[in-house]
């Protein structure tokens, strides 16, 4: 599977007949991502709790996925989105709830393409019709550099910097 190219994959919304049981999560810290895909992604998708976008092969096997949902960033009243150290006043956001790329084909750009898709959905579909200021993610420590490469910034508080899954955000107001 390592030689699989993006051209061999279809990027689309999760379908009811997609094969989701075989994706390899790799390290044990990513096991919950495989469990979500196998047990919950289709239910959440159908119930509009979240939406899952997938890279699927010709046999409809999911190779990589991203799940996004609604969220908010809380800022103190009067604070601007640039001052994200202060927390309380809600700003609408899209949250990357889950992101997984099959362990056999990581480092091929699929994860970054999925993150760009989530940002594009927020910009093209949500911002003009509902309003949205941020895309957020609770990043695993091992994924912080990946999200930084995608343009995300870590919430700058002591508590967040020490968190196991620190909050990172992408400010759509700067796009």
Residue 21 has pLDDT above 50, yes or no: yes
Residue 123 lies in a domain: yes
Residue 98 lies in a domain: yes
Q: Three-state SS for 112?
A: helix
Domain count, the chain: 1
Residue 3 has pLDDT above 50, yes or no: no
Residue 1 lies in a domain: no
Q: Report d(CA 149, CA 1) in Å as an integer.
A: 25
Cα Rg of the chain (Å, integer): 16
Confidence of residue 45 (pLDDT cuts 50, 70, 90): confident
Residue 27 has pLDDT above 80, yes or no: no
Q: Residue 86's pLDDT is what?
A: 47
Q: Which residues span the domain enclosing 76?
A: 6-174
- Find the CATH number of the domain harbouring 70: 3.40.630.30
Confidence of residue 103 (pLDDT cuts 50, 70, 90): confident
Q: Residue 91's pLDDT is what?
A: 78
Q: Residue 52's pLDDT is what?
A: 93
- pTM here is 0.82
Q: What angle do CA 109, 53, 7 make, to 5 degrees?
A: 45
pLDDT digit string (tens) for 62-79? Answer: 889 999 999 887 655 555
């Amino acid at each position: 599977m390592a030689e699989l190219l993006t051209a061999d994959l279809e990027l689309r919304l999760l379908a009811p007949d997609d094969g989701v049981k075989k994706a390899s999560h790799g390290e044990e810290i990513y096991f919950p991502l495989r469990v979500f895909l196998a047990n919950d992604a289709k239910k959440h998708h159908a119930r509009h709790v979240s939406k899952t976008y997938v890279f699927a092969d010709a046999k409809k096997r999911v190779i990589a996925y991203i799940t996004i949902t609604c969220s908010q960033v809380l800022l103190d009243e009067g604070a601007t989105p640039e001052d994200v150290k202060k927390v309380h006043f809600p700003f609408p956001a899209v949250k990357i709830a889950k992101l997984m790329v099959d362990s056999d084909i990581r480092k091929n750009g699929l994860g970054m393409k999925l993150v760009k898709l989530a940002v594009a959905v927020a910009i093209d579909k949500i911002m003009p019709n509902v309003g949205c200021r941020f895309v957020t993610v609770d990043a695993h420590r091992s994924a912080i550099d990946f999200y930084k490469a995608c343009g995300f910034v870590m919430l700058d508080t002591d508590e967040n910097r020490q968190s196991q899954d620190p909050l990172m955000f992408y400010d759509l107001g700067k796009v």
